[in-house]
Amino acid sequence: MASDPGQSVVEQVLAAPALLVRPACVDFRRAALALLDGLPPGRGRLVLDFSATTDADSVGMAALIAIRRRARERGHPVRLRGVEPPFGELLRMARLDGQFETERG
C-alpha cells in the first residue's frame, strides 16, 4: 500500500460474529463495507477479528468475498485476526485462506 511517509495508516477493527451465518453475516458485511468506504485513500487497513468465530455458511463466505472485492477496489488491505480451527479450516476449504493477510490471536 503506497502512502505518504508523513501520514499514518488508519486501521479499523471489526469483530466478526461467533457464527458467520445468515442473518448475522449480512450485518457484518454491511458494517465492513461501510468501514472500508470510510477509510482514507491509500492509508487504510481493515482488520476483521475472528477470534470468537467458530462456524460459517456459504452466505458468510460470500460476505468475505464481497469485503475482499471492495477492499481491492479501494486499495486497502484486509487482515484476518485470530483465525483458529475450525474456522480456519472453512477458509481453507473455500480457498479463501490465501486471499487475505492473516495473524494469530
DSSP element (H, E) containing 48: strand 44-49
Evaluate the omega torsion of the peptide bond into residue 23 and state whether it is cis, within 30 degrees of 0.
yes
CB-based burial, 49-59: b 16+ in 10 Å, e otherwise? bbeebeebeee
99 within domain boundaries: yes
Instruction: Kindly report whether the global pTM for this prediction surpasses the value 0.75.
Output: yes
| Mean pLDDT of the region 91-96 | 91
1 within domain boundaries: no
Please tell me the predicted confidence (pLDDT) of residue 105: 60
Band of residue 4 on the pLDDT scale cut at 50, 70, 90: low
47-67: pLDDT as tens digits: 999 999 999 999 999 999 999
The C-alpha cell of 12 is what? Answer: 479499523
Please tell me the predicted confidence (pLDDT) of residue 51: 94
Give me the domain span that covers residue 80.
Answer: 11-103
Separation of alpha carbons 88 and 104, rounded Å = 11
CATH assignment of the domain containing 61: 3.30.750.24
Please tell me the predicted confidence (pLDDT) of residue 41: 86
Please tell me the predicted confidence (pLDDT) of residue 6: 60
Q: How many domains does the chain have?
A: 1
6 within domain boundaries: no
66-90: pLDDT as tens digits: 999 999 999 999 999 999 888 889 9
